[in-house]
Amino acid sequence: MNRVYIKTYGCQMNERDSEQVAVDLRNRGYSIVPHEDEADIVLLNTCSVRDQAEQKAIGKAGHLAVRKRKDPNFVLGILGCMAQNRGSELLDRLPDLDLVAGTQKFHRVPDHLDNLIASMNGQGPRPSSIIDLEEEAGSQNTINAHKPGERQVSAFVSIMQGCNMKCTFCIVPKTRGPERARPIDDIVAEVEELVANGTREVTLLGQIVSSYGRREIPFADKKSPFVQLLERLNAVEGLERIRFTSPHPRGFKDDLVQAYGELSKLCEYVHLPVQSGSDSILKAMNRPYTSGRYMELINDLRAVQPDIHISTDIIVGFPGESEEDFQLTCDLFKEAAFDMAFIFKYSPRSGTPAAELEDNVPQSVKDDRNQVLLRLLEQQSLRRNNSLVGTVQEILVEGPARKGEGMYMGRTRGFRKVIFPGSERLVGELVPVRIDESSVTTLKGQLEIVGVA
């Protein structure tokens, strides 16, 4: 009765939340299983950012509901963003759901499951669905633990929840609520514990990390709370690499740019969502910067760190996006020379300001623009990867590669994936690898034997 399968949709934040739920459930005596067939309880941790993501989870829940009808002791729950976004309306659509828990309620999941199971066993009132979607002060501080005894070479660390930006297309402020930061000391303690368990790299997560702590924590020495946090983490002994996702161009001030020159562990990689290269579309999106300002920021970063790898998010087909607007996005895409990008087709989200506008770019045009940018991305990514052939890169070895006997996988500081012949004892180590082959997504190489001429 206590085997749980958790399926996660969406972003890294969701992955991290699922990891926390798994830790909490294990501590409560549940076991986490890798396949849904083995599970008595299935939890879907969901995403609302685009309609497609919601439809996928609803479809899955529909299938699982069939099983629930055959086996009344089977427990089915929906967690996270779609739970928050759709709330009790989900029950109209999926009356067999046992649990609907929002984005501030992950830590309540063990209690809810205990109660559901107790009532199914006849030890409590007749089971009815549990819906838990309230805001909860301090909930950001509950995403703080990792699997004990299990080494994560690279780990996610949630530093804040929510977003106050109100981009007109975005459902996240509704699903994740207002910005709430965790204290610096708590985050440092979490990272120190990870490092004691063998972690070498952390990726700091938040919807808008450049705003981290701006209400709670004062500037110190002209440095924003986020840069103060980076400095503290840079000093953690045994930690080798720091990454974060995602900052906002608006909050990306000079102290953060300079951090790339000053903090040795901050990797030469930044994911900086631009969304569009057209100033009028940026304005309609309520993204408070111009393409010119964005390029300035990119150039400032390259001045401090010439080899920095830059990735971005782009939305094509926002209401009113003309051919000229799209062309400006292509121009910026080339000028910024992005070597990674997530390109999304605009999807109206009910309740957001943009949903009031007519979704007037035809699907076929969205598809075309998406393809154009994907092709550009392929070219740029390949060009960048080709430029690394012949160089020796510092690789953090994460584990065996999915394919190929004796092959191991790691990443460069610039976040490029590298496959090379290695061995188990290298996992968690930083090793020099000479790159001898490249494709759009992957580099291949050989360990560089230091000291042999």
Does 50 engage in binding with ligand F3S (CB under 6 A)? no
Kindly tell me which residue out of 5, 9, 156, 169 binds ligand SAH, with binding defined by CB under 6 A. 169
Tokens for 75?
């427990």
Beta strand residue intervals within 127-257, DSSP E: 130-132, 154-158, 160-161, 180-181, 201-205, 241-245
The nearest distance, CB 135 to ligand F3S, in angstroms, is 17
* Cβ 414 to ligand F3S shortest distance, Å: 24
Q: How far is the CB of 100 from ligand SAH (least distance, A)?
A: 22
For residue 393, the cross-strand partners are 433
CB 64, min distance to ligand SAH, A: 26
Give how far the C-alpha of residue 317 lies from the chain's centroid of Cα atoms, to the nearest Å.
Answer: 23
Task: Please identify, using beta-carbon distances, which residue of 315 and 395 lies nearer to ligand SAH.
Answer: 315
d(CA 436, CA 443): 8
For tokens 């514990």, what's the residue? Answer: 193
Long-range contacts of residues 95-98, Cβ cutoff 8 Å, at least 24 apart: 96/65, 96/68, 96/69, 97/61, 97/65, 97/129, 98/127, 98/129, 98/130
d(CA 293, CA 336): 12
Tell me the closest approach of the beta carbon of residue 172 to ligand F3S, in angstroms.
4
Closest contact distance (angstroms) between CB of 285 and ligand F3S is: 8
Name the binder of 50 from ligand F3S, ligand SAH, none, CB < 5-8 A by kind: ligand SAH
Cβ-based nearer residue to ligand F3S, 219 or 342: 342
Q: Which is nearer to ligand SAH, 51 or 424 (CB)?
A: 51
- Residue selected from 9, 30, 344, 408 as contacting ligand SAH according to rule CB under 6 A: 344
DSSP-derived 3-state class of residue 223 = strand
Residues 58-117 that bind ligand SAH (CB under 6 A): none
Dist. CA 266–CA 35, nearest whole Å = 36
170 binds ligand F3S (CB under 6 A): yes
Partner touching 174 among ligand SAH, ligand F3S, none, CB below 5 to 8 Å by kind: none
> For the window 194-213, what string marks contact with ligand SAH as x by the rule CB under 6 A?
-------------xx-----
**For residues 380 and 320, what is the distance between their CA atoms, to the nearest angstrom?**
28
Distance CA 433, CA 437 (A): 12
Judged on CB neighbours under 10 Å (0-12, 13-18, 19+), 423 is exposed
From the list ligand F3S, ligand SAH, none, pick the one residue 173 interacts with, judged by a Cβ distance below 5 to 8 Å according to partner type. Answer: ligand F3S
Residues that bind ligand SAH (CB under 6 A): 49-50, 169-170, 172, 207-208, 246, 273, 275, 313, 315, 344, 346-347, 349
Residues that bind ligand F3S (CB under 6 A): 163, 165-167, 170, 172-173, 207-208, 248
